[in-house]
Amino acid sequence: MSWLVVKIIKDIITITAFKSLPDIKRNPLMIFLVSLITSFPLFFIVVSGGELSYGITGAIVATVGFIGLNSAIQDMAWDRYLKIRQIIVSMPVNPIAYALAIALAPLVVSLPGL
């Protein structure tokens, strides 16, 4: 791999950690809530005798919606307070690495639900 690809991967990991780990440390109950929200569709599908694939799909959709709403609120309030966005933008990163890291940060928080 070339040095540019290695740098992009390192930047993605760094920015994802900047964006996701403070949220987990600040709000560890979020992991429990994500797990609880994703279990509701599975519970209703299994109890009613429906197909499990619909339950898994519903759980993934519920998790993504909940995490998306939560991350939008945190982006508006918490990032402004910590000035994380200014730190990340001032770093010499590739735009692709920046976009991928910002997209992957909510995925790290939602991993317990998946």
Amino acid at 27: N
Higher pLDDT among residues 96 and 56, named by residue? 96
* CA angle at 101 for the pair 99 and 102, rounded to the nearest 5°: 65
Comparing 3-7, 74-78, 105-109, the range with the smallest average pLDDT is 74-78
pLDDT reading at 77 higher than 70 = no
Q: How far apart are CA 4 and CA 9, in angstroms?
A: 9
Q: How far apart are CA 41 and CA 55, in angstroms?
A: 5
User: What is the chain's alpha carbon radius of gyration, rounded to the nearest angstrom?
Assistant: 17
- Give 13-52 pLDDT, tens digit per residue: 888 888 777 777 777 777 777 777 767 777 767 766 777 7
